[in-house]
Structure 1
Amino acid sequence: MKFGYTIIYVKNVLETVAFYEQAFGLSRRFIHESNLYAEMETGDTALTFAGEEAAELSGLAVAPNRKDNLSAGWEICLVCENVATAYSHAINNGATPLLPPEEKPWNQTVSYVKDLNGCLVEIASPVRK
């Protein structure tokens, strides 16, 4: 077994893709013609977005992610070399600041923002050994 991908259910897939391109510098890999599903270029494991109505079409119920709600009990982590620059760039492009970059005892710089849907995004450096 291996981890294949993460799907985040969102109110608007196209707006979310545009936000991740602008705030985090990710590139879109694929957008379905229905605009209810998209994949971002993130390496071996894809970050994907699906419209909330896609969950309903599958017979699933999901709690909506909203900017003003308490974030759900998960996060995604985007790894980069310059966390301070990436954190500032994300905030300047619509992310909500939560925790500024901080050096951790395990030799990693970590920060947190919320995306336009209220989802937690960790911006972190690789762990240095």
Structure 2
Amino acid sequence: MVKFGYTILYVAEVEKAIEFYENAFGFARKFITPDQDYGELSTGETTISFASKKLASQNLSEGFLESSLEAKPFAIELGFITDDVGELVQKATSFGAVLVSEPKKKAWGQVVAYVRDPEGFLIEICTPVQQ
């Protein structure tokens, strides 16, 4: 059996990243290492984790592409489901998220918006998909 356990975002400052997600989305902090180079949030079934770019460099000796608001986002996103997309977009941008796309209703009825976090990672904020 395989279970999807977590996604790790490589960030400049783990504490700041965790504070953003706590404030903007209401997630609860699981823990941060004493060196503040790794931390996790409780987000439901799957954990969002953060590792410092320094720690990532130690694990990936050939380097990695760094996320940045100055560059286009990676071809991957975090998806957060809510009943009120507009309200959550407003809350996220009030804590430093950058608006990419206003909420739009899709042909299948789902409302979807996009923001980027302060490190440049792409976040989809959406209503549940109706079956």
| TM-score, normalised via structure 2 length | 0.93
Pairwise mapping of residues 75-94 of structure 1 onto structure 2 (< 5 A)?
A: 75-94=77-96
Instruction: Verify: 1:31 aligned to 2:36, yes or no.
Output: no
Structure 1 stretches of 5 or more lacking a match? none
- Shift >4 Å, 4+ stretches: none
Cα deviation for residue 91 of structure 1 reads 1.1
* Alpha carbons of structure 1 residues 59 and 92: separation in structure 2 relative to 1, 3 Å: closer
Which residue identity is paired with 2:129?
V
The root-mean-square deviation of aligned C-alpha atoms, in Å, is 1.1
Separation (CA, whole Å) in 2 of partners of 1:42 and 1:116: 19
Q: Is the 8 A contact 1:28 1:40 kept in 2?
A: yes
Corresponding residue of 1:123: 125
Distance 1:108 1:10 in 2: 31
Alpha-carbon contact 1:9-1:52 (below 8 Å) kept: yes
**Alignment correspondent of 1:2:** 3
**What does residue 57 of structure 2 align with?**
56
Q: Secondary structure at the match of 1:56?
A: helix
Deviates more, 1:40-49 or 1:63-72: 63-72
Identity of aligned residues (%): 35
Give structure 2 stretches of 5+ with no counterpart. none
SS of the equivalent of 2:3 reads coil
1:6 positional shift: 0.4
What letter corresponds to residue 113 of structure 1 in structure 2?
V
